[in-house]
């Protein structure tokens, strides 16, 4: 396989992995919930 084809194959694998994993995402899932996950996971705060 030449280099361009190998890179296309790597990209196709990546796309397919995302599509498969995203198949059961709930409708309420959105990118901003990433920051919320970090905020929620922080330990009790005392500066």
Q: Shortest Cβ distance from residue 31 to other proteins (Å)? A: 4
The structure tokens listed for 34 are 């990433």
Q: Shortest Cβ distance from residue 17 to other proteins (Å)? A: 4
Residue 9 near residue 1, CB atoms below 8 Å: yes
Binding mask 8-47 for other proteins (x = CB under 8 A): --xx--xx-xxx-xx--x---xxxxxxxxxxxxxxx-xxx
Handedness of CA 21, 26, 31, 32 (dihedral sign): negative
DSSP assigned state of 28: T
Q: Site residues (CB under 8 A) for other proteins?
A: 3-4, 6-7, 10-11, 14-15, 17-19, 21-22, 25, 29-43, 45-47
């Amino acid at each position: 396989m030449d280099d361009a084809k190998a890179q296309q194959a790597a990209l196709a694998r990546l796309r397919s992995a995302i599509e498969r994993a995203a198949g059961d995402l709930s409708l309420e899932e959105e990118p901003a919930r990433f920051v919320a996950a970090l905020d929620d996971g922080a330990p009790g705060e005392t500066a």
